[in-house]
Each structure stands twice: as structure tokens, then as C-alpha cells.
Amino acid sequence: MELKQKKLIVNVTNKNDIIKILGPPSVQSRFDTELLFFIERKITNTSSLKLGKQIIMTNNVLIVELDSYGILEKKVFYDLTKMNALKFSKNTTDIDYSKQSFVYDFLSSMRQKINDPLGKRRKK
């Protein structure tokens, strides 16, 4: 896709030419201008020594913006080097159910109603 996207010329290439060069788009969006998304992804398995871990070989995304006449206005190409590594927070939130909390009181009353639905406790 990297070589094919270089054939697309801004303000010259039309929608039919783009589909002829790249094929049908992966995703098509239509708002003020028409956006076409072309996605190419290749994954391969590593050797059996690494337990078949998958490696991304290519991850290309081409975003093509067309005007109302179907002429190419803008193109943006993202490849594997422009992929962002996302970092997730490892912080956790602690929950405190003390005897004074509303949740503790509510759950205690529910337990009591389940154990004695008629409200008549047996006396021994």
C-alpha cells in the first residue's frame, strides 16, 4: 500500500482512480467531505521457541479525503513506525466497606430480611 499511495495525486486523482489503484475501502465515512479508510495489516507467528507469539509485520492505514466532486483533497498515510504504544495505569482504587457506611447497612438489612422474611424470629 505504501507504493500504491504514492500514485495518488492531490487535486488530480478522483474516486474511481483511487478504487482502481487500491481496491475498495475498508471503511467509508460521509460527513461534510467523503473519507475513505484503507487498512492493511499483516501478522506472522514467531518460532515455536517463543510459543507462537505473533508479531505485526505491516500495519498501514491510508486516510483519503475527497471533495464534493470526488476529487482527492488530502491523504494521510500511517505506517508501523507511527503506531503509538499505549500505556495503561496500574493504579487501583480501594473500596472501604466499614460498619458505618451506607452500603454495609443496606447489605446487612437485606441479609436480615432474607434470613427472616416474616420478621418473626424463632426464640430458643
Higher pLDDT, 32 or 67: 67
User: Which one of 28-32, 50-54, 112-116 scores highest in mean pLDDT?
Assistant: 112-116
Which residues contact residue 29 at a Cβ distance below 8 angstroms, ignoring those fewer than 6 apart?
A: 35, 36, 37
Cα(78)–Cα(9) distance, integer angstroms? 17
Percent of the residues in the chain that have a pLDDT greater than 70, as a whole number: 81
- CATH top-level class for 2-82? alpha beta
